[in-house]
């Protein structure tokens, strides 16, 4: 699905957009997904609106490397790639999700606790794990931030780390954090001109 087709979803009722989108992406059929291990969460698809909000608010640009930690069936990376042109990586532990992923999207079968994260500039987590795993992955992200500035976006939960600074927002589910590490230049703030329909999708309005 390309950007034009995604943005055309503004003409669909907000409560129907995700169903229409997932049907178009070929991931509307149910898939069994139990939690794959201790402190790990089973599959749940991200909504269109918060992903659009993330692309707009970060903003994600073509020069970014966007990494979805616990990518499920690839819905988020498909949207981010289409809307921003960024390079995308989806890391997913469950093979059954990878085998039913969005057509044309490649997911990496790996554990985020050991997969390489070094190139990432924007990271996304939709409650993929809890407890000690959150802390372990957070420490891995901090090590990336010691080399270059990163943005960490969470959906449905918050992170508490001294090296992360949450941005002020009126988003209910989405939190955007900038890395703040001594000796590392902050992320360059540049304006990205997105289609106005992206904002309408981000706020779940017609």
Nearest to 81 by CA among 70, 96, 71: 71
pTM value is 0.94
pLDDT at residue 34, as a whole number: 62
pLDDT tens-digit readout, 29-87: 988 766 666 655 667 889 999 999 999 999 999 999 999 999 999 999 999 999 999 99
pLDDT in tens, 111-122: 999 999 999 999
Confidence category of residue 132, pLDDT binned at 50, 70, 90: confident
Token pair 């599959």: residue: 43
> Residue 182: pLDDT above 60?
yes
For the ranges 25-34, 61-70, 120-129, 167-176, the lowest mean pLDDT is seen at 25-34
pLDDT for res 128: 75
The domains located in the chain, with CATH, are 3-202 (3.40.50.150)
Q: State the average pLDDT over residues 3-24.
A: 96
pLDDT at 206 over 60: no
Q: Strands (DSSP E) along 87-201, which ranges?
A: 87-92, 107-109, 122-125, 151-155, 164-166, 174-179
Could you tell me what percentage of the chain is helix, strand and coil, using 3-state DSSP and rounding each to the nearest 5? 35, 15, 50
Q: Tell me, what's the pLDDT at 147?
A: 97
pLDDT digits (tens, 9 = 90+) for 88-110: 999 998 899 999 999 989 999 99
Report pLDDT for 203. Answer: 86
Q: What is the pLDDT of residue 31?
A: 80
Instruction: Report the Cα–Cα distance between both ends of the chain, in Å, rounded.
Output: 20
**Nearest Cα to Cα of residue 128 among 103, 96, 95, 94:** 94
Return the pLDDT at 43: 75
- pLDDT exceeds cutoff 80 at 196: yes
Helix (H), strand (E), coil (C) string for 52-114: HHHHHHCCCCCCCEEEEECCCCCHHHHHHHHHHCCEEEEEECCHHHHCCCCCCCCEEECCCCC
pLDDT at residue 40, rounded to an integer:
57
DSSP assignment, residue 9?
Answer: G
pLDDT tops 60 at residue 177: yes
């Amino acid at each position: 699905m390309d950007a034009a087709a995604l943005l055309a979803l503004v003409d669909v009722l907000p409560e129907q957009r995700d169903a229409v989108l997932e049907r178009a992406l070929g991931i509307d059929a149910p898939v069994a997904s139990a939690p794959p291990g201790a402190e790990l969460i089973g599959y749940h698809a991200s909504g269109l609106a918060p992903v659009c909000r993330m692309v707009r608010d970060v903003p994600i640009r073509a020069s970014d490397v966007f990494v979805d930690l616990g990518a499920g069936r690839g819905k988020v990376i498909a949207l981010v790639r289409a809307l921003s042109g960024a390079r995308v990586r989806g890391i997913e532990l469950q093979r059954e999700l990878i085998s039913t992923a969005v057509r044309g999207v490649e997911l990496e079968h790996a554990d985020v606790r050991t997969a390489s994260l070094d190139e990432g500039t924007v990271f996304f987590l939709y409650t993929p794990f809890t407890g000690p795993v959150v802390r372990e992955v957070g420490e891995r992200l901090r090590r990336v931030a010691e080399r270059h500035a990163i943005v960490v976006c969470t959906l449905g939960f918050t992170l508490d780390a001294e090296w992360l600074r949450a941005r002020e927002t009126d988003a209910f589910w989405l939190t955007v954090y900038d890395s703040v590490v001594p000796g590392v230049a902050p992320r360059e703030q540049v304006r990205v001109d997105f289609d106005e329909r992206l904002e309408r999708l981000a706020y779940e309005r017609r």
